[in-house]
Every structure is written in structure tokens, then in C-alpha cells.
Chains A and B, each alone.
Chain A
Amino acid sequence: MSLVEFSGDVFLVAFFLYCFSFLFYVIAVTGKRWSGREPREHERRWGKIAFVVSLAGLAAHLAFFFTRWAGSGQIPTSNMYEFMTFLAMAIMIAFTIVFAIYRKPLLGMFAVPLTIIIVAYASVFPSEVQPLIPALESIWLKVHVTTAALGEAFFAVGFAAGLMYLLRVIDFKDTSKSGRKAQRWVEFTLYTILVIVGFLIAVFAFRGAGYEATFTQEKLVIDSQGQQQDVKETVHYYLPPIVKPYNSQAESVEPFLGLDKPLLEAPSWMNGVNAGRKLNTVVWSIIAGTLLYGLLRLLFRKPLGAVIHPALEGVNPEDLDEISYRAIVIGFPVFTLGALIFAMIWAEKAWGRFWGWDPKEVWALITWLYYSAYLHFRLSRGWQGLPSAWLAVIGFVIVLFTLIGVNLIIAGLHSYAGV
């Protein structure tokens, strides 16, 4: 067995350990009020078990990272699969650091599932080792990507704590206008997370079933001599095509529930590589996420926020506020260093300019400006607590857009990272 294959196996081990750890965190937090238990003792014991299991998961994850590095001879951060697995690992590292400071098992209940989702998301992308293209052949690939991801991981922990804060303080019995508004937005946040889960379910279900559809797409490409050229490309779909690529013909479409031809066409302005397929995936994610959300609503017969809320009772919201703030404060310098300064040094070495207003660069700057605004807001009266928690949640949406959205929607120099 080669090192790379071995690394794939330990990665799977890490994934399952994370799942168990999540389960134990849930037991630690929600099991406090089970009958015949001393709540403090219960939380302490199960919190410890959960933390040890999450540490074991992180150890397996680190083993994956380093064996893959050794086996392939290049740091595994060079494509979407590798980057996402690294980001998940960074979130676990950030979580471990913040947990070591505050020792709140509750944090695990929110940070670990985030890691699980990202690990699953990584597995959507092809996991083969791809040899480096010349642009990535640099020491800065190691330095820039890892530090940027670690900074973002702290923002992720800030997001987890912020979301917990919201679920903790928002009163689901409040029927005032502002109360309802807050409830709706929390519900929407949870729904969004379910859409991502829905995406994962859709991708893995159809992949398991071996679904495929093929299109040929005609594209006008302007080559380096300024000549327009018609290029024909074959686009493979692994989810039933609701949306077909712009300006394309169906080659073969396996029927699915009577769907044997695409219903819609992707708009022409979607520029990225395989934009049509990505749009189709988004549509599927929304469908699957909505179904999932509907099912959960049927099961619990109340808003999901109200389902989670009672588990958080007894938690001091100020602690959550401080954890969220602290995680972001810890992450901000790391992010500045990795995503801006190291990025500029590399850009200067590779392209001869430290800054070029490439979409990925602009979005890194936007993320940075956003969090600097957050840090200044914290200095102002009235912005602690609820508004801060919302800012932490929205901030992570911006981080995710920078990491994934830019590659999916906007083409640019970082487009090699898109799949």
C-alpha cells in the first residue's frame, strides 16, 4: 500500500472520529438533564470523552496530511480537495486552541459538525494527487495557503460561537416584530446550513448510483493572437441536469424520475469553468436542502432554532460572545499575514506585482476589511452581543464566498482551484 493510499484510509478514520466526537459533544451538552445524573459531573465526563475523541480525529487528520505530503512529494494544499481537507483540519486546530482556553464542551457541538461538513464537502472533489503546475511550484504555496486557512479557521470558530449565541439569546416565544425578524434570520441561517448538507447528500447519492449526463458546449474563445475561435467542450454532469450549460447540446442524459432532458439553460454571463454544471448543482442543493428542512420541520413541528434553543439554556451568553470575539481576534493577525502579506509576497515573486485586483485578491481584502470593521464595531457602545454575533455569522459567509464562491462564479487567476 502506498503512502497516498494509506493517507486516504486515515482520512476516513478521521472523518468517523469527528462524527463520534460530535455525538459525544451532543451527549455532553444535552444529556445534562437526563434523569439520575449530576449535570456538572455528566458534562465534565462526556465533554472530556468528546474532546479526546476529537483530538484523536485531529491526530488522524494530521497523519493524513503528512503521509499524503510524503507520498506525493508536494504539500497537499494545491487543489480544492486538498485545500478543503486542510481547512477542515485548520478549523479543528483552531477549535482545539480556543477550547483549551475556555473549556466549553458546547463549542464542540458547533465547531465539530462544521468540520464534518467541510470534510464531506472536500470529498466531493477528485482526490487524486495532481502534479503541480509551474505557477504553484513555490515555497509560498506552503506558507500562504496554510496560514490563510488557519486564519479563516479561527473565523469559523468565531462563527460557530456567534451562531450559538444567536440560538441561545433569541427568544422563540417572542411574538414582537423584531423578535420574529430575529427568529426568521436564525432559521434562515440554519436552512442555509441544511442546503449545504443537502448538496452533500445529493452529490453522494447520485455518485453512489453512478448517474451521468453529457453535453457538448460551444464556446467563443479569444486566443492570444486576438482571433475568435469556436471551441467545443464536453461537459459531464453527475447530477440530473435541471440546468444545462449555456449554448450546449445534450449528448446523453440518463432519465431520472421522468427527467430526461434539461429544463433550463445557464445564463451566458456565468463565466467560471463549468459554470452550467455548478449552477445545476446549486439548484439541486436547494431542492435537497429544502426537502431536508421540510422533513425536520415535520418531525419536530417547530422552528429548528426553537429545537436547538433549549439545549443551550444555562449557558452564559456573555461567554459565547467573548469566545466568538476572542476567536476572531486570534484569527485576524493570522489571516492578515497569510491571506494578504504572504499572498502579496508570492504574487510579487510569481507575477511581478504584489497586488493585481484579481477577484480572489479583492475578496481576501474584502474579508479583511469586513473583520477590521467588526473589530472597530466592538469598540463602540451597543455593538457587543447580538449585533456582534450576527457580524460573526455574516463574516463567515464572506469567508466561504472568498474561498469557494469566487472560484465557482468568478473566473480569475485562482481558477485552477475550482472544480
Chain B
Amino acid sequence: MLAVENTKCECGHQNAVGTVLCESCGKPLDAALQQSSEPLEMRYDGVARRSQKSNPAIIDRIWNFFSSVKIAIYLIVVTFVTAMLGTIYPQESSFINSFDATTYYEENYGTPGKIYYELGLSHTYESWWFIGLLVMIGTSLVICSLDRVLPLYRALQKQQIRKHHQFILRQKTVYRSEIAGDPKEWVEKFGAQLKRKGYKLHFEEGTGTALLAEKNRFSRWGPYINHIGLILFLLAVLARSIPGWQMDSYVSVPDGDTVPIAGTNYYVKSEKFNVEFYTDDELPEELKGTARAKKYETQAVLYKCVANCDDPLKEPELEEVMDHNIIVNDPLVYKGLKLYQFDFNLTPRLNAVSPILEDKRTGEIYGPFYLPMKNPELKHQLGPFTLEIRANYMEFALDSEGKPTTLSREPNAPAFIFSVKGPGLAEEGEPYIYFPMQKDKVKFAQDTINRELAGKIEIRVDGMENVDFSEATTHLNVRMDKALPYLWVGAVFSMVGLILGSYWQHRRIWLRVDGTELALGAHTNKNWFGMRSDVAGALKKIGVEIDPKTLDNGGNNA
């Protein structure tokens, strides 16, 4: 048979199972606790928490598990220890370039590296168990808080003023003495002093010889507000895995180009990328001669596509929505879309040339004609000559069979093969290969390839004014993160809670006078030093000089 615990206090109050101190008069309910004279454990004012229910069912058991502060501490400790392990070697996510994780760790760090990789520590923070730990901490936050805050709220709502002697005299701060004169007057005088220190006073109705003085109760809610903030924060972090909530990609924009931002309806143009370095005059001795960057800046313009966006055959219609000079620490921000200065490349890129055609036999010059690297016109008429583009290559190379091929789609070594028709040339046209860049012309021996045609005509660029190139390419990081506002709200809650809970303390003083006998007990959740000086200060004001230290009744600084 189950033993039925008697939870009714001698004052007549019926307490819930698990209550340590009577919710009404504060007398310890447990017989063993009644015998002892040790200071009382005042956590949550000794009220029963939900987790202390009798006959726990399965839900209660889970609840009980997560409601334990001990479990919460274990979770925190395990989390920070695993987080430490994750910093031993670089995480996979810290590599921007593609690399082979299966071999990288072993090659670079030997056997420990291999073990590190095999254990999954090379991606600690994305692993299911680490995220699981965070989720468990979140659960613990919710349950621990609910388990305590509701009973605590109830207990603080209905505090009795005249407490049991056992309760008062077993506080951590206690004062006991005989008083002369009218007790009611004494209590009023003492109360007035506490009131000046910001305490709210509650005198026992009728007699006026018992007092509860209380201040800063709100600070008790600090930890719970903090926990709400942390939960919001964690939820916001988890929400980032909802598709479409966040975006993280990169675009490369050569000077003057307009490039679509994948996954959005936007285009970005880089008017110009600038990098500035400190001059030697600005640098201290040991840094002179080093290229210390001063500023990276992309003069960016953001466009929105308004028509023909998905039709590859038509030019999209763009509308400018914003222009901004993107520098480090100052991204372009437009309706949640953010463009960050990420990297740059100072290799110039050829955009277009305007070459001329010389008839070497007569010395006549025709042209110039405009020849962009991308999407050039296929046919050019230059005086009596006709040029037709047969093929063009962005990064010209010869494959293993000696056939021309292109290595990439970037104009790093462009080449054009024209079919040239004109006076003194074959009727069906003669092939002519043209390398716009001097280095390629030499490297691939343009004149040798073109054979005798090279002696008849030449296509070349006269002067730099006929060359159009981008000096630099900027790399921008494109970001979107819809969870951010929630995250900041969580952070604000958390901070407010921390401040309320840390910089104010809930202080309560109970006193009762029975005849000439004064019993005073005081409790705070933090800062006993301040609690004692409040009591000693108020006593001093009414003529009782004591050293605050003598109020200390032992026990722990919780």
C-alpha cells in the first residue's frame, strides 16, 4: 500500500506533494528538517515543482529528466567539451576551395587526423549529435523554466506575512533581540527605514507586529526571461534550415559587367572595383614595404529584372533599384538581400577589341571593326574584304590530337578563326586565325598557322584606345537570412533577462514581534553582503548599531 504523505501544515494550509516549506507560514514540513537547526534551503521558496508529482507516468518521467538542473548542467558541459574537440583541427566548412576531406586530415595530421575525421569531428557543428545536444539544451530550457517559474510565481503571489519562527530564524541572515516599548511602533519605525531603501511593506493586518518587506521581485523573473530569449534564439537558428530562409552564394563580377544573381530576380553590376593600399608613410617601421590593404570597394548597382527574365532568347529588361559602394563592413542591403565584399582578382580581363585589317600588298587599312569576346557579330564587311567568324575560343589550347579547343568560358586566351574573302583570295574564303592578345599571338605562333595568308593581310589592334578590358573582377558574397530578426529579438530578451537577474536581487525581510521578542529573517537570491547591509543599515537608523557580519547565520551563498 502506498503511504499517504501528510502535507497539511499545522497552520492549516494544505500543501502539494513535494513541498518543503509550508507555502503559507514557511514552517518546514519534513520531520527531519524540523529537528535540524541548519539554515533552510530557500530555492523556489520550498514549493513543490511539477516534476515532484507522485506516481510519474512516462510523460512525467521525460519531464522530470529535462526538469533537472543537474541534467541541464551535464548537457552544457558535454556541449562545450565537444565544441572544444571541434577546434582541434580546421572544420571542413572552413575550406572555401573544394578539397577531399577523406584524405585531407590524414595527409596533414597523420593518424590523429584520420581518427578526427572518422569520428566526424571534422564537421562537429553540423553533426546530428551536436545539433541534438543543442535541441536537448533547448528542451531543458523550456522544461526547467516551466517547472519552476509557475510554482514560484504562485508562491510569491500569496505570501503570508507572519511566518513561523522556524522559518524566520533559519534564514541565512537573522537578527534576534529583545525590544523595549510598543512593538507596533518599533515595527513601523523600522519599516519606514526599509521603505526609504525601496522596500515595499506589508504589515500584518490588525496587529501591526509582523512585517514583510520586499524589493526587486522582478529580478526573480530575469533568468526566465533570459531562457525565453535563448529558446527564441535556438528556434531561429533551427528555422534557418527551412528551405528559402537563407541563402549563401557567390557572384564574380568583372568591372563593367552586369551579372544575374542566381536564385533571385536581381542582377548586379560592378561599375568598378578598387583596392587601396597603405603608403609607406602611413605604416610603422616593421610594416614598411608590405602591401597592407586599406580599402576594398566595389561600386555596385543592383537591378531588378522586370521583363523577359526567364526567356533565354530575349534580353532581360532591367530596372535599377539601388546603387551602393560595397566595402568590407558595409554591404549592399536591399529588402533582405545582402551583397558583401568577399574577394577580388586583379587579373585584367579582355572584353572587346577594335582591330583593323591591313592589306599588306597595297598598304591599305580597313576598319576598325568592333569585336567583343562574347557574342560577336558573325560577319564584318571591311572595304573589299569580308570576314566571317567560323569559330571562336575563349581560352585557346590544342588538345592531345592537336585540334583547337577551349579550356574555359573566360576570355583568358581568346582566339577567332575567320574565313576571309576579298581581292586576291580564294573564292570560298581562306581561314585566318586571330589572337587579340599579343602574348597568345606569340605563344601559338599566329603567323605560322596562317601561312601565306599572313603575308597578304593582317588583322591587328592599333593602340590601347582600341582595347576594352576590365581591370579587376570582384567576388561578392550573396546572403539572405530570414531568421535574423527573430534571432535579434531572442538576443534582446536574453540580455534583458540577464541584466534583470544579475544586477538586481530579490530581497525579502520577515519580522515578527511576540511581546518583547523580535525575530527577523532575511532572504535574497544573490548578494548576501548587500542583504546584510540593508538590514544593518535600517537597524542603525533606528538606533541599533551592529556589525553586518554578525547577522550571518551560516549556510551557503546560493
A binding-site residues for B, Cβ under 8 Å = 101-102, 126, 128-131, 133-135, 137-138, 140, 222, 224, 226, 268-269, 271, 316, 318-319, 321-322, 325-326, 329-330, 332-333, 336-337, 341, 344, 348-354, 356-359, 362-363, 365-366, 369-370, 372-373, 376-381, 384-385, 406, 410-412
Q: A134 and B294: CB pair below 8 A?
A: yes
Q: Please indicate the chain B residues that have their CB under 8 angstroms from the CB of A336 in the complex.
A: 494-495, 498
Q: Please indicate the chain A residues that have their CB under 8 angstroms from the CB of B284 in the complex.
A: 126, 128-130
Q: Please indicate the chain A residues that have their CB under 8 angstroms from the CB of B558 in the complex.
A: 378-379, 384
B21 to chain A, nearest CB (A): 15
A360 to chain B, nearest CB (A): 9
Q: Which 3 A/B pairs are nearest by Cβ-Cβ distance?
A: A128-B284, A352-B479, A134-B328
In angstroms, Cα B529 to Cα A135, docked, is: 45
Q: Please indicate the chain B residues that have their CB under 8 angstroms from the CB of A352 in the complex.
A: 248, 331, 338, 340, 477, 479
B171 to chain A, nearest CB (A): 15
Segment 298-331 of B: residues with Cβ below 8 Å from A: 327-331
Segment 438-487 of B: residues with Cβ below 8 Å from A: 477, 479, 481, 484, 487
Q: Please indicate the chain B residues that have their CB under 8 angstroms from the CB of A348 in the complex.
A: 484
The answer to whether A379 and B69 touch (CB under 8 A), given A322-B529, A365-B80, is yes
In angstroms, Cα B329 to Cα A322, docked, is: 42
Q: Please indicate the chain B residues that have their CB under 8 angstroms from the CB of A131 in the complex.
A: 278, 282-283, 292, 294
In angstroms, Cα B294 to Cα A83, docked, is: 21
Interface residue count on the B side (C-beta < 8 Å): 71
In angstroms, Cα B93 to Cα A373, docked, is: 28
Total A-B Cβ pairs within 8 A: 159
In angstroms, Cα B292 to Cα A130, docked, is: 10
In angstroms, Cα B556 to Cα A166, docked, is: 16
Nearest chain A residue, comparing its CB with the CB of B475: A224
Tell me which of B77, B87, B278, B338 contacts A363 (CB under 8 A).
B87
The answer to whether A366 and B294 touch (CB under 8 A), given A322-B557, A354-B487, is no
B534 interface residue per 8 A CB criterion = no
The answer to whether A349 and B80 touch (CB under 8 A), given A134-B294, A325-B557, is no
| 5 sampled A-B residue pairs with Cβ under 8 A | A129-B284, A137-B295, A349-B329, A357-B94, A380-B73
Q: A333 and B498: CB pair below 8 A?
A: yes
In angstroms, Cα B331 to Cα A406, docked, is: 28
Q: Please indicate the chain B residues that have their CB under 8 angstroms from the CB of A332 in the complex.
A: 498, 502
In angstroms, Cα B548 to Cα A316, docked, is: 13
B351 interface residue per 8 A CB criterion = no
B108 interface residue per 8 A CB criterion = yes
Q: A373 and B340: CB pair below 8 A?
A: no
Q: Please indicate the chain A residues that have their CB under 8 angstroms from the CB of B552 in the complex.
A: 318
Nearest chain B residue, comparing its CB with the CB of A268: B108
Q: B327 and A134: CB pair below 8 A?
A: yes
**Chain B 522-558 interface 0/1 with A at a Cβ cutoff of 8 Å (1 = within):** 0000111100000000000000000001001000111
B91 interface residue per 8 A CB criterion = yes
In angstroms, Cα B503 to Cα A13, docked, is: 34
Q: A341 and B328: CB pair below 8 A?
A: no
Q: Please indicate the chain A residues that have their CB under 8 angstroms from the CB of B481 in the complex.
A: 353-354
Nearest chain B residue, comparing its CB with the CB of A378: B558
In angstroms, Cα B86 to Cα A268, docked, is: 19
Nearest chain A residue, comparing its CB with the CB of B98: A226
Q: A357 and B91: CB pair below 8 A?
A: yes
Segment 65-96 of B: residues with Cβ below 8 Å from A: 69-70, 72-73, 76-77, 79-80, 83-84, 86-87, 89-91, 93-94
Nearest chain A residue, comparing its CB with the CB of B287: A130
Nearest chain A residue, comparing its CB with the CB of B328: A134
B296 interface residue per 8 A CB criterion = yes
Nearest chain A residue, comparing its CB with the CB of B549: A316
Q: A376 and B76: CB pair below 8 A?
A: yes
B101 to chain A, nearest CB (A): 14
Q: B484 and A354: CB pair below 8 A?
A: yes
Tell me which of A326, A357, A379 contacts B93 (CB under 8 A).
A357
The answer to whether A376 and B295 touch (CB under 8 A), given A329-B502, A357-B93, is no
In angstroms, Cα B528 to Cα A321, docked, is: 11
In angstroms, Cα B287 to Cα A370, docked, is: 39
B93 to chain A, nearest CB (A): 7
B109 interface residue per 8 A CB criterion = yes
Nearest chain A residue, comparing its CB with the CB of B494: A336
Give the most central of A138, A344, A362, A381: most B CB within 10 Å: A362
Q: A126 and B293: CB pair below 8 A?
A: no
Q: A330 and B502: CB pair below 8 A?
A: yes
Tell me which of B109, B248, B528 contacts A269 (CB under 8 A).
B109
A386 to chain B, nearest CB (A): 11
Q: Please indicate the chain A residues that have their CB under 8 angstroms from the CB of B294 in the complex.
A: 131, 133-134
**Chain B 492-510 interface 0/1 with A at a Cβ cutoff of 8 Å (1 = within):** 0011001100110000000
Q: A362 and B83: CB pair below 8 A?
A: yes
In angstroms, Cα B91 to Cα A362, docked, is: 11
A201 to chain B, nearest CB (A): 24
In angstroms, Cα B97 to Cα A222, docked, is: 9
A218 to chain B, nearest CB (A): 16
Give the most central of B278, B287, B529: most A CB within 10 Å: B529
Give the most central of B84, B87, B284, B477: most A CB within 10 Å: B87
Nearest chain B residue, comparing its CB with the CB of A132: B294
In angstroms, Cα B323 to Cα A121, docked, is: 47
A161 to chain B, nearest CB (A): 12
In angstroms, Cα B529 to Cα A318, docked, is: 10
B285 interface residue per 8 A CB criterion = yes
The answer to whether A359 and B87 touch (CB under 8 A), given A131-B278, A352-B340, A373-B76, is yes
A-B contact sample (13 more), CB < 8 A, given A133-B293, A134-B329, A410-B87: A126-B284, A134-B293, A137-B295, A322-B529, A333-B498, A350-B329, A352-B477, A353-B479, A356-B93, A363-B87, A365-B83, A373-B80, A377-B73
In angstroms, Cα B88 to Cα A180, docked, is: 33
Q: B69 and A376: CB pair below 8 A?
A: yes
Q: Please indicate the chain A residues that have their CB under 8 angstroms from the CB of B113 in the complex.
A: 269
Nearest chain A residue, comparing its CB with the CB of B498: A333
In angstroms, Cα B491 to Cα A354, docked, is: 12
Q: A362 and B87: CB pair below 8 A?
A: yes
B286 interface residue per 8 A CB criterion = yes
Q: A358 and B94: CB pair below 8 A?
A: yes
Q: A134 and B527: CB pair below 8 A?
A: no
Nearest chain A residue, comparing its CB with the CB of B84: A366
**Chain B 175-206 interface 0/1 with A at a Cβ cutoff of 8 Å (1 = within):** 00000000000000000000000000000000
Q: B296 and A134: CB pair below 8 A?
A: yes
B221 to chain A, nearest CB (A): 15
Q: Please indicate the chain A residues that have their CB under 8 angstroms from the CB of B89 in the complex.
A: 269
In angstroms, Cα B497 to Cα A332, docked, is: 12
The answer to whether A135 and B329 touch (CB under 8 A), given A101-B529, A333-B503, A410-B87, is yes
Q: Please indicate the chain A residues that have their CB under 8 angstroms from the CB of B341 in the complex.
A: 134
B41 interface residue per 8 A CB criterion = yes
